[in-house]
Amino acid sequence: MGLLDGQQAVVTGGASGIGRATARRLAEEGARVAIIDINGDAADDIAQEIDGTAHLADVTDAEGLRTAVDAAARAMGGITLLFNNAGIDAHHPLDETDDDVFDRLVAVNLRGVFLGIKYAIPALRASGGGSIISTASAMGLVGRKGIAAYGATKGGVVALTMGAALDFAAENIRVNCICPGMVYTGLAGAGPDNAAPVPDRQLPVPMARWGTPREIAAAAVFLASDDSSFITGVALPVDGGYVAE
């Protein structure tokens, strides 16, 4: 038996990196999984691998995302878990950050999470409750030079998580977020999901190594499972000690 037997999960940004690794882990633990991604071919590939469904949508497109979430609910017979994972990155000093780059960061990283929660809530209510997990970042908890705009959007996800947790606590809907540190993913030119090379430079992480998508997926499984049944409104660092230092 798996930790998530009988659950129906939606993963945004599930075609690559952390999203793909998490979709696999959710399926391994017994959940039915629907992938929502802007990359239709890659979403189809992972959905076929895990016997799930794939739905094409851009998380910044409200109507498109609502349609995809509704289609996922119909395909699975409901939704008990939403993993808001779609996101983008950008590293620039604040004064060198183009306005359109900032707007795109906000649209994908923050508005996309807002829309995901908003449009999944009816299905979660209909299921009698469930869990919402979003991917924030260690950079949403502490500052770092050259990444202010990105960190601001991830800090927004942390605040959105805490507020939404209070909005829905009485309805048996838990809302948490994961704050990854330096994780070796496809967005950074990674190879396999579960492999990270020995760093070729000193990483600013107490554990002195990359995290892997599989390690973030393990945290998502915990927050989705009954093992975390009394946890809501939490921003969980999975960062090799970065935030603590």
Quick one: what percent of the chain has pLDDT higher than 70? 93
Annotated active-site residue 150? The verdict is yes
Question: Tokens representing 153?
Answer: 């959007």
Per residue in 142-191, pLDDT (tens digit) is: 988 999 999 999 999 999 999 999 999 999 999 999 999 999 875 444 45
Question: Tokens representing 52?
Answer: 């799930």
pLDDT-derived band at 46 (thresholds 50, 70, 90) equals very high
Output the pLDDT for position 208.
85
Neighbours of 226 (CB within 10 A): 9
Question: 73 vs 205, which has greater pLDDT?
Answer: 73
- Complete domains list, the chain, with CATH: 8-238 (3.40.50.720)
Output the pLDDT for position 201.
61
* Residue 228 to residues 128, 217, 234, Cα–Cα distance (Å): 17, 15, 11
Calculate mean pLDDT across residues 222-242: 97
Average pLDDT, the chain: 93
pTM above 0.75, yes or no: yes
Full strand arrangement of the beta sheet holding 235-238: 53-56, 32-37, 8-12, 81-84, 130-135, 173-180, 235-238
Per residue in 85-110, pLDDT (tens digit) is: 999 998 899 999 999 999 999 999 99
Q: Is 1 in a helix, a strand, or coil?
A: coil
CB-based contact 213:21 (threshold 8 Å) = yes
| Active-site choice (119, 150, 184, 242) | 150
Per residue in 180-194, pLDDT (tens digit) is: 999 987 544 445 455
pLDDT-derived band at 198 (thresholds 50, 70, 90) equals low
> Which of these, 154, 10, 125, 11, lies nearest to 73 by C-alpha position?
10
As to burial, measured by CB atoms within 10 angstroms (0-12 exposed, 13-18 middle, 19+ buried), residue 218 is middle
* Residue 26 to residues 3, 33, 52, 64, Cα–Cα distance (Å): 9, 7, 11, 24
